[in-house]
Amino acid sequence: MSLRLLLFDVDGTLAETEEGHRAAWNATFAHFGFDWHWDFNTYRDLLQIAGGAERLRHFAPADMSDETIRAMHRAKNARYREAMAAGEIGLRPGVRQLIDAARARDVALGIATTTSRGNVEALIEGTLGRAALGWFSVIACAEDAPEKKPDPQVYRVALARLGIEGADAWAVEDSRNGIIAAVAAGIRVVLTPSLYMAGDDPRGAALVLDDLAAVAPEELLDQLGAG
């Protein structure tokens, strides 16, 4: 049990992106002529459902077509990507430092997320720069794993692509669904609860930190078993 692979969740973990998703949804609702507005508490409840399109399906009237749901989700993502690429949301504390320290110690980096590849790329480009996409040995996202967290599919895909056992990996997660998904794939979890997930049940996480700046990156890598 060593640390060969550090897998990052995206939404809520790399950055507090959900405020960006929420703002983009509200602008999209207005654009499509709906007077809906998802406030913080409404969105927090809706976040129990993984996936933006699935979330809207749950909220929308039952007679709304799948085509309209898909069109609104696409429009939301277009707005969201513009905001992320413009650098409107920064990384959470300590994320950059841990990434740099892991690279320096030859720990492979990966991403395992419910969101789409385009959203991941926009966030990475807006925060770490385009070249940083090459720092990640695997980027597993919605297109690779239709079964969304808490299903472990996205974590299993990431491990399989690199031929690494769950026991040799750690995941950094922010949510209950994320913990369940990673643990079911045999991966230990560092939990850094996000704005929307504060107060959620942390059981199953091997380590809980307010954020990744709570422990010096070298010390954290030692704790996770980096060589």
- Check the CA dihedral 18-136-93-205 and report its sign: positive
Separation of CA 68 from chain center? 25
Interaction residues for ligand XBP, span 127-156 (CB under 6 A): 149
Q: From the CB of 201, what's the least distance to ligand XBP, in Å?
A: 15
Residue 131, number of CB atoms within 10 A of its CB: 9
Q: Is 11 a catalytic residue?
A: yes
Considering only 3, 5, 11, 185, the residue that binds Mg ion (CB under 5 A) is: 11
The DSSP annotation for 49-76 comes to S-SHHHHHHHHS-TTS-HHHHHHHHHHH
Tell me the per-residue interface mask from 145 to 184 with Mg ion, x by CB under 5 A, - otherwise. -----------------------------xx---------
């749950």: which residue's tokens?
58
Q: Choose the contact partner of 153 out of ligand XBP, Mg ion, none; CB within 5 to 8 A by kind.
A: none
Residue 2 region by backbone torsions, left for phi larger than 0, else alpha for psi between -120 and 50, else beta: beta
Separation of CA 219 from chain center? 24
Q: Does 116 bind ligand XBP (CB under 6 A)?
A: yes
Considering only 7, 12, 127, 159, the residue that binds Mg ion (CB under 5 A) is: 12
- Footprint of Mg ion (CB under 5 A): 9, 11-12, 174-175
Q: Which residues are catalytic?
A: 9, 11
Interface positions with ligand XBP (CB under 6 A): 9-12, 18, 21, 50-52, 77, 113-116, 119, 149, 175, 177-178
